[in-house]
Every structure is written in C-alpha cells, then in structure tokens.
Chains A and B, each alone.
Chain A
Amino acid sequence: MSDDLLRSSQLPGVTRFQWQQLLGPIVVIVVLSYVISSISITFTFLTEGTLALLVMVLGLQVFIGNSGVLSFGQAAFAMVGGFATGLLTVPVKIKENVLDELWEPLKAINMGIWPSLVIAVAIGAFFAFLTGLFLMRLSGLAAGIATFALLMVADNVFFNWRLIGPGPQVMPQVPKFGFVDESIILAVVVMVVVYLIGISRRGRLLRATREDPLAARALGASVWRLRVLFFTVSGGIAALSGAMYAHHSGAVSARDFYLGFTFTTLAMLVIGGATSMWGAVVGTIAVTAIGQVLLEFESGVTVGGIDITLPNGARGVVIAAALVAILIWRPKGITGGREFALRLPFLNRP
C-alpha cells in the first residue's frame, strides 16, 4: 500500500527544506531577468518594474497563501514603503522647493538608497503589526472588507496629507537604481525569506489554521498570533516592493499603489497559485508577459498582413477574464500550489 501513497517530496506546499525547491524559482528569476534586461533599455525598465511587482506578490503569498485570509490591504504598506524611501532619499533642495508643506524634520533628512530601504521595510512592518493586532481577529468576508478599508484609509491619508508627502501630486527625483542587479538581489533575498518562513514550524502551523482552525487551536496554535506575525512579515515585504518601485520609476505617488496595483498583484498571485512561492513567481511572469503582448496589440500589430489593433484597456479585460477562468477551472492556480525543484546532479543527494 505504501507505494500508492505520495511521498512528501511530491506534495503541494512541502514543508521540508529542499535546496532544489529554493534554487528553482531563484534561478528562473535571475536568468530571465538578465536575459530580458539585456534586450534593450525598455526591457531593463520592464524587468525592474516586474521584480518590484514580484516582491509584492511574494509579500501577498506569505500571508494570504499561508493563512487563507484574503487581504486587499497590503498595498497600503507598499504605499508606506514607497513614501518612506522617497522622503528619506529625495534631495533636500527638491523637498524644500517642491514639497513646501512637508513637516520640517522630514525636509532635512537625506540618506542613501540601501539604508532607506531598511528603514522603509521596518516602518512598513511596524504599521502592519499595529493594524494586524486588530484586523487579524477577523476572518473571511469581514477580513476582506476590513483590509480593503485599510487600503482606503492609507490612500486618503497619503493623497491628502501634505505634511508627510506631496498629497495628490507626485514626489519627484527619487534616486533610481543604477542597474537591474539591485532589484534582482532584493527579489532573491525576499524569495529566500518567503521560502524559509513558509517551511518553518510556524508556517506549517499557519497553514494548519487555514485548513482547520479549530483543529489547529486544539493542538495549541494561536491563530491570531500566527496571523499577526505573518501579516507583519508580509507588510515589511510589501513596503520593500513599494520602495523598489519608487527607486525604479524615480517618482512616487499614492495612486501608484491603489486599486489597479492591488488588483494586478492579487491576480498574479491567484493565477500562479497562492499556496506556493513558485506560484507567485509564475503568476507574476505570466501576467506580465500577457500584459506586454496585449500592450503591443493595443498599439497595433501586423500579423500575416492583417493589422490588428486592440482597444485600449484590453489588457485589463483579458487579465480579469484569465483570473475568472483560473478561479473556475483551476482554483489552485497554474502551478496547483506546487513548488518547482531544480534538479541538478550535485543537489540531488538523497
């Protein structure tokens, strides 16, 4: 009978550390990033932006995928991260000239990109922890609505409060990353963190609460504490994504991280498969690729002598339709919640 049963290495959401599973997605991302960014400046820009999105989707995966609780609010922490790194790195002169209503102590601060990234992550995680203390008492529809309310609050604060930002304007002159390498390094670090926390004892316990909260509590798992912990980690990662986006585009505004951003990143997670890191990677790549192809068609493409021009907005419609199709026919996403293991001879020791 034992031969009929699946071994642990074949299971979705495997909880035993395997180098192959950690290296698989990392190698795919590093190779794809260097290949695509080498095509042209435009593709380098696309790669950097996609890596920022990948980090956001990984941040969503670590909380939503492991807890089973849907959150529409993680973009609020991306907003926090984007604004934090912007305020810490935009030159003082620019702040004095463009952001004249900014709180005076914030005008005087200026530091390099790397320390600002660390601070942005810490601030994002701190706000996630504070809000998580209350929000993580909710489940299901109530959690979805409450986290959406969090997004609305963050958007209104950042969109209107000029003491901490440009209000409805754009914060300009955010120093840009010099190379695609910075984004790749950050994405790899986040992938390692997400993988390790996913296979940890607490990760396994949180997934147990997702499957059967009552049974998990009977084993001694505090659903609230576990959710707060993972919500905090997710908030820190989302803040890093917002900060990466700011250093990728050279500017930041509240609306960069609002409904469109929330929908796109959630669609990437669901289409790829929410319960695995590989799902987050595949979803990000798939949705970006579909988006780029459709963008070309929106601009007009000649195929076999026939001019095809899709109406503006076709990208959004197709991605939304793909999301619905996945939810109906493959609710576990393209990857089915499985991790991708890189099979190399020297890594395949039993």
Chain B
Amino acid sequence: MTLLSVRDLQAGYGKVQVLFNGHIDVEPGELVGIVGPNGAGKSTFLGTLAGSVRASSGSIEFDGASIKGRNPEDIVRLGLAMVPEGRAIFTDLTVNENLRLGLTGRREKSGAQQAVDEVMDLFPVLTTHKNHQAGLLSGGQQQQLAIARALVSEPKLLLLDEPSLGLSPTVIQDVFGVLARIQERGTAIIVVEQRAHLVMSIAVRTLVMREGHIRATLSQSDAQDEAKLAAAYFGTGEDRE
C-alpha cells in the first residue's frame, strides 16, 4: 500500500499561491527527493504535508487516512515527522532534553527509552554530548540532533527540509550517510534540497520544482545526465527568458 499519496495540492500564504498542483507518491521505506532553486515552493510543499502550511485544495492521503487540514501535532502522532529548515533545535536545553521532547509525538508511549537508545546508537556523537547544551554543538551535530529528535517518535515517513544548509561538504556526507541507515530501518524519507546531485545520488526518484510547479520527475540514472538535469532544474532557454 502506498504510504503517502498527494494529488492536486494547492497552497500558499494569504492570497499568494505558492504551490500549484502538488503531487507525490511515496512507498514504505522509499527515499524521494525534491529539488529546485530558491523560491520554487519546495519548503511550502513539505510544510503542507506536515500541516504547518494550510492547503487550499487537493488531497493528502497518509497511511490510509486523509491528513489535509490537520494540525502538525496530530500529524506527527500518525507517523509523519518533519525536520524543519534551520534545524530548530532548542538551544537552551541539553541534547538529552531535546531528544526527550521528540517523544511527545510517539503513538505508543511504551518503548520510549528503547527508542532513545536506538537513536543514540545511530548518532554516537549525541551520546558523547548527552548532557551538554544543544546550542553549543557544531552545525553538523545540531543537524544530527534534529534528525534524531524526529526519529524518536518512530515515524513511518520522515520529511527533511534542506538538511545540508550551512554545513561543510564533509559534514554533509556524514548527514546523508545517516539517511541511508534510517532507510534501512524501514522509514520512508522525503528530502528537500537545493543540491540536486546530492539528493539524486541516494533518492529512488527526484521531483524537480520551479515556480511552484513540479516540472519533472527524474530517476536515479538521470542524475548522470547533466543536460536532462539542467533542463529540468532551470527550464528551457525559452523558460529562462
């Protein structure tokens, strides 16, 4: 059964429409990418799935139920967790306290400690800094904490908004390496990124967005085809004018 099925999704802010005819299908355990330039509507699309942006029309079916119009706090309890852009960790709290806040969104209240332990195994650096102030971690460690915090709710689908933002190339490789291990646990992932090559190398397919529309869907093999990628990313010469 398809885990997430989105059709004809329209969303925006006030009277300004930002997302047009958004659509996506995600199977359990799949990793799907969304790429596109600044202002393409990628984060709005992700926010609409997570409930932080209201959809004006269209449908969002997640795990057999409609989640369109539901609150973010209800959606996370259904198994759809989001790591927002800029990480949004709570800097005054410790690493452990940040992680425990993530337990709020668990459907099953039992097994919480086990979930924390498993996530700590996935991110050993967090164990080292368990009792340290989260705001003083490095950018890469903060990103790992943000992902770990979302994972303790044991989501079926994890949404990541620009996880590479502000990170050095080596740290980006570490963060993306962890995504494969999360996928191995059976968690489906949608990653929004501006670095198209990075996402396309690990995603089963990648949607390319421009000006609020999904312009193309590229397969993993398309990542090698520079011309195809450039055409989808920037549009045709006519489009660019």
**Residues in chain A within 8 A of chain B (CB atoms):** 2, 4-8, 11-13, 15, 201, 204-205, 207-208, 211-212, 214-222
The 8 closest A-B pairs by CB, nearest first: A220-B105, A215-B88, A5-B132, A220-B104, A217-B72, A8-B94, A220-B76, A6-B133
Contact of A218 among B82, B94, B129 (CB under 8 A): B82
Which range holds the interface residue count of chain B? 35 or more
Smallest beta-carbon distance B79→chain A, Å: 11
Contact B50 A218 (CB under 8 A): yes
Q: Is B92 an interface residue (CB 8 A)?
A: yes
Specify which chain A residues have a CB less than 8 angstroms from the CB of B82 in the assembled complex: 218
The answer to whether A221 and B104 touch across the interface, beta carbons within 8 angstroms, is: yes
Residues of B within 8 A of A12 (CB): 92
Q: CB distance B136 to A219 under 8 Å?
A: no
The CA-CA distance from A13 to B72 in the complex, in Å, is 26
Q: Could you list some 10 contacts between A and B, CB below 8 A?
A: A8-B94, A11-B93, A207-B92, A208-B93, A217-B73, A218-B52, A218-B84, A219-B102, A220-B104, A220-B105
Question: How far apart sit A115 and B150, CA to CA, in the bound complex (Å)?
Answer: 47
Which of A7, A201, A216 lies in contact with B100, CB distance below 8 A? A201
B131 interface residue per 8 A CB criterion: yes
B97, closest chain A residue (CB): A15
Known: A219-B76, A219-B105. A7 touches B132 (CB 8 A): yes
Cross-interface CB contact of B73 among A8, A201, A220, cutoff 8 Å? A220
- Residues of chain B whose beta carbon lies under 8 Å from any beta carbon of chain A: 50-52, 71-73, 76-77, 81-82, 84, 88-94, 96-97, 100-102, 104-106, 128-129, 131-133, 136-137, 149-150, 153
State whether A219 touches B132 (Cβ < 8 A). Answer: no
Residue of B nearest to A220 (CB): B105
Query: Which of A6, A204, A217, A222 is the one whose CB lies under 8 Å from B132?
Result: A6
A218, B81: Cβ atoms under 8 Å?
Answer: yes
Whether A211 contacts B105 in the complex (CB less than 8 A), given A8-B97, A8-B131, A219-B149, comes out as no
Question: Are A211 and B101 interface neighbours, CB within 8 A?
Answer: no
Q: Main secondary structure on chain B at its contact with chain A?
A: mixed
**Which single member of B50, B90, B131 contacts A7 (CB below 8 Å)?**
B131
Q: Are A219 and B129 in contact (CB under 8 A)?
A: no
In this complex, what residue of A is CB-closest to B80?
A218
B73: chain A residues at CB < 8 Å are 217, 220-222
| Chain A nearest Cβ from B97, distance in angstroms | 6
Closest to B159 in A: A218
Give bound CA distance, A187 to B35, whole Å: 57
- The answer to whether B105 touches A15 (Cβ under 8 A) is no
A-B interface contact total, Cβ < 8 Å: 90
For B128, the chain A residues whose CB sits under 8 A away are: 2
Alpha-carbon distance between A11 and B93 when the two chains are bound, in angstroms: 8
Give the distance to chain B from A315, nearest Cβ to Cβ, in Å. Answer: 35
Give, as a whole number of angstroms, the nearest-CB distance from B231 to chain A: 35
Residue ID in chain A nearest B77 by CB atoms: A220
How far apart sit A193 and B238, CA to CA, in the bound complex (Å)? 67
Identify B153's interface contact among A11, A212, A215, A220, CB under 8 A. Answer: A220
Q: With a CB–CB cut-off of 8 A, which chain B residues contact A211?
A: 90-92
Q: Is the CB of B84 within 8 A of A214?
A: yes
Across-interface contacts of B50 in A (CB, < 8 A): 218
* Residues of A close to B105: CB separation below 8 A: 219-220
Contact status of A219 and B133, CB under 8 A, knowing A204-B93, A205-B104: no
Instruction: Please indicate the chain A residues that have their CB under 8 angstroms from the CB of B101 in the complex.
Output: 204-205, 208, 216, 219, 221
Q: How far is the CA of A215 from the CA of B134 in the complex (A)?
A: 15
Min Cβ gap B80→A in Å is 10
Q: How far is the CA of A219 from the CA of B75 in the complex (A)?
A: 10
B153 nearest CB neighbor, chain A only: A220
- 9 additional A-B residue pairs with CB within 8 Å, beyond A6-B132, A7-B132, A201-B100: A8-B96, A208-B90, A211-B90, A211-B92, A214-B72, A214-B84, A218-B52, A218-B76, A219-B150
Interchain nearest-CB distance for A287 vs B (Å) = 26
Assembly CA distance A205 to B76 (angstroms): 15
Nearest CB of A to B161, in Å? 10
Q: Which residues does chain A contribute within 8 Å of B71, judged by CB atoms?
A: 217, 222
**Residue among A2, A15, A220 facing the most chain B CB atoms (10 A cut-off):** A220
- Give the distance in Å from the alpha carbon of A11 to the alpha carbon of B96 in the complex: 13
A6 to B106 CA separation, bound complex (whole angstroms): 29
Q: How far is the CA of A230 from the CA of B105 in the complex (A)?
A: 20
Q: Contacts A6-B133, A217-B72: A11 and B92 contacting too (C-beta < 8 A)?
A: yes
B76 CB contacts on chain A under 8 angstroms = 218-220
Q: Which residues of A contact B131 (CB under 8 A)?
A: 7-8
Residues of B within 8 A of A208 (CB): 90, 93, 101
Q: A226 CA to B56 CA in the complex, in Å?
A: 28
Residues B136 and A215 in contact, CB atoms below 8 Å apart = no
Contact (Cβ within 8 A) B88 A204: no
B72 partner residues in chain A, CB cutoff 8 A: 214, 217-218
B contact residues around A201 at 8 Å (CB): 100, 104
List, in ascending order, chain B residues with CB within 8 A of A212's CB.
88, 90
Q: Using Cβ atoms and an 8 Å threshold, which residues of chain A touch B153?
A: 219-220
Q: How far is the CA of A216 from the CA of B88 in the complex (A)?
A: 9
